[in-house]
Copies of this chain bind each other. A is one copy, B any other.
Amino acid sequence: MKQKISDKVAERLQEMLKNQTWTAGDKLPPERDLAKQLGVSRPSLREALQKLVCAGLLTTRHGGGTFVQEKNQVNFIDPLLNMFQEQTEAKFDVLEVRHALEGTAAYYAALRHTEVDRQRIQHCFDYMIEMHGSPNPLDEAKADAQFHLAISEAAYNPVLQHIMKNLFSLLENSITHNLDKLYTLPKVFEPLSHQHERMMNKVLERDADGARRAAQEHLVFVGESLQQIERAESRKLHAVRSLPTL
């Protein structure tokens, strides 16, 4: 199969990014120059650029220029994951995956974390406590996500870290309204906070197996709480739905 030239251009650009021709934050040459330099028309170049933008490797600012995206702030969401977020069961699916991943994340974080990670984890924990009761429940949910990401970051496994990031950004997008419901339940914050603390301590004590257990117990609790909420919601719905039949 012959390749489209916009694809070839995209590959060449990706090569140049890998070869550090430009590094994070750098400004690329203007489209007109770059197109001439690569020997293609501007629309073709633009299609190639669009792909890389869509892949989260570049960003463009109208009138400003085209820049290499910092690797950290990956705002890219796997488009397929995107389609899951409608189905109501998705949050339980995500929870099952997290159950699997966070256990090992905590395990390896306990083994591999450095002093810097230790400080970041503690800071995230404190911030999470601080955010409790914030007027915007979303803040608390984000702080929670940051805490979990800080731990998985300390596992020093880029593949795992990347998947976790995508999972959380998936959650943030549309399912958060269920999470903040979770936080507002009076009987839930206490055990949640306690579980977080236990998880953090096990990691920092380098007790790998204990950390894994703590993470898994935490997610079991979250899952059960979510199911309770779900059941309550469905009871409400059924009540409403059954009215017209009377």
Q: Measured between alpha carbons, how far is A101 from B147 in the docked complex, in Å?
A: 21
Kindly identify, within residues 53 to 84 of chain A, every residue whose CB is under 8 Å from any CB belonging to chain B: 54-57, 62, 74, 76, 78-81, 83-84
Closest chain B residue to A99 by CB distance? B104
Question: Which of B4, B157, B166 meets A93, CB within 8 Å?
Answer: B157
Name A152-168 residues within 8 Å CB distance of B.
Answer: 157-160, 162-163, 166-167
Query: Does chain B have a CB within 8 A of A25?
Result: no
A162 touches B80 (CB 8 A): yes
Tell me if A230 counts as interface (CB < 8 A to partner B).
no
Contacts of A125 in B (CB 8 A): none
Q: Which residue on B lies nearest to A162, using beta carbons?
A: B80
- A96 on interface, CB distance cutoff 8 Å: yes
Most buried by B among A4, A97, A104: A97
Residues of B within 8 A of A195 (CB): none
Residues of A1-53 contacting chain B, CB below 8 A: 4, 6, 18, 43, 46-47, 50-51
Supposing A18-B83, A80-B76, A84-B158 touch, asked if A101 and B93 sit within 8 A by C-beta, the answer is no
Q: Is A210 an interface residue (CB 8 A)?
A: no
Q: Are B79 and A57 in touch, CB under 8 angstroms?
A: yes
The majority secondary structure among interface residues of chain A is helix
- Among residues of B, the one whose C-beta sits closest to the C-beta of A102 is B100
A90 at the interface (CB under 8 A from B): yes
Q: Which residue of B lies closest to A161 (CB)?
A: B93
Which B residues are CB-close (under 8 A) to A163? Answer: 97, 163
CA distance A94 to B4 in the complex (A): 31
How long is the Cα–Cα vector from A80 to B74 in the complex, in angstroms?
9
Query: How near does chain B come to A48, taking the closest CB pair, in angstroms?
Result: 9
Q: Give Cα distance in the complex from A124 to B105, angstroms.
A: 31
Residues in chain A within 8 A of chain B (CB atoms): 4, 6, 18, 43, 46-47, 50-51, 54-57, 62, 74, 76, 78-81, 83-84, 86-87, 90, 93-94, 96-97, 99-101, 103-105, 108, 157-160, 162-163, 166-167
Can you list 5 pairs linking A and B with CB atoms under 8 Å apart?
A: A80-B162, A96-B159, A97-B104, A159-B167, A163-B163
6 smallest beta-carbon distances between A and B, as pairs: A55-B79, A100-B104, A93-B159, A100-B100, A93-B157, A51-B54
